[in-house]
């Protein structure tokens, strides 16, 4: 079966992906918000399947590859939130934008590579055409709870 024949929900199964538990907000905000045909998703961290967070600073505690895996885990956490709040990933038409923040040492400059962990996941779920939107990838001196990656996203709904 080609990607073109699969829905995002089917792609989850084909790829053998499991979603971590849906994270609960760590502050006063909504995890996601529907406005018309758009779904805004608040910044998410890298939750593991057991609900714990991947922590550490990139370039100090985690290397570039570990950070990319953490970004993929953030993407899975975002998918978990979407599925929990909308009932199905199939309600999402396309990825519009992601903002990826990398908690790293000042010398680290491979932020786009790290955030590819999430972007590649979304491309695998929605396909190259609808799964890749516009993007920013930036470095931060610190992120909440010492997480290495935080990502927020905007999606278009059907």
pLDDT at 15 over 60: yes
Q: What is the pLDDT of residue 3?
A: 47
pLDDT at 8 over 50: yes
pTM metric for this prediction: 0.95
Q: Under the phi-then-psi rule, with left for phi > 0, alpha for psi from -120 to 50, and beta for the rest, what region is 13?
A: alpha
Q: Rounded to an integer, what distance in angstroms lies between the CA atom of residue 18 and that of residue 151?
A: 19
pLDDT band at 5 (very low <50, low <70, confident <90, very high): confident
**Secondary structure of residue 14 in the 3-state scheme:** helix
Q: What is the pLDDT of residue 2?
A: 46
pLDDT tens, residue by residue, 83-95: 999 999 999 999 9
124 contacts 44 by C-beta, under 8 angstroms: no
pLDDT tens, residue by residue, 101-135: 999 999 999 999 999 999 999 999 999 999 999 99
CB count, 10 Å around CB of 52?
10
Give the domain ranges of the chain.
Answer: 3-16+32-157
Chain length of the chain: 158
DSSP letter for each residue of 40-92: EEEEE--B-TTSPBP---BTTTB-HHHHHHHHHHHHHHHHHHHHHHHS-GGGE
Topology, domain 3-16+32-157: 60s Ribosomal Protein L30; Chain: A; (3.30.1330)
Q: Rounded to an integer, what distance in angstroms lies between the CA atom of residue 14 and that of residue 78?
A: 19
Q: What is the pLDDT of residue 102?
A: 98
pLDDT tens, residue by residue, 16-75: 999 999 998 889 999 999 999 999 999 999 999 999 999 999 999 999 999 999 999 999
Q: What is the pLDDT of residue 1?
A: 41
């Amino acid at each position: 079966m080609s990607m073109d024949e699969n829905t995002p929900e089917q792609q989850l199964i084909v790829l053998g992906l499991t979603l971590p538990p849906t994270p609960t907000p760590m502050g006063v905000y909504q995890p996601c918000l529907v406005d018309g045909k758009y779904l805004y998703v608040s910044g998410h961290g890298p939750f593991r399947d057991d609900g714990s967070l991947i922590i550490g600073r990139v370039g100090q505690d985690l290397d570039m590859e570990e950070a990319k895996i953490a970004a993929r885990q953030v993407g899975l956490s975002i998918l978990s939130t979407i599925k929990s709040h909308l009932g199905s990933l199939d309600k999402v038409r396309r990825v519009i934008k992601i903002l990826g923040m990398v908690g790293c040492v000042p010398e680290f400059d491979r932020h786009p590579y790290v955030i590819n962990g999430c972007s590649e996941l979304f491309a695998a779920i929605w396909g190259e055409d609808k799964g890749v939107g516009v993007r920013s990838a930036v470095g931060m001196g610190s992120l909440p709870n010492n997480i290495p990656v935080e990502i927020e996203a905007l999606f278009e709904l059907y």
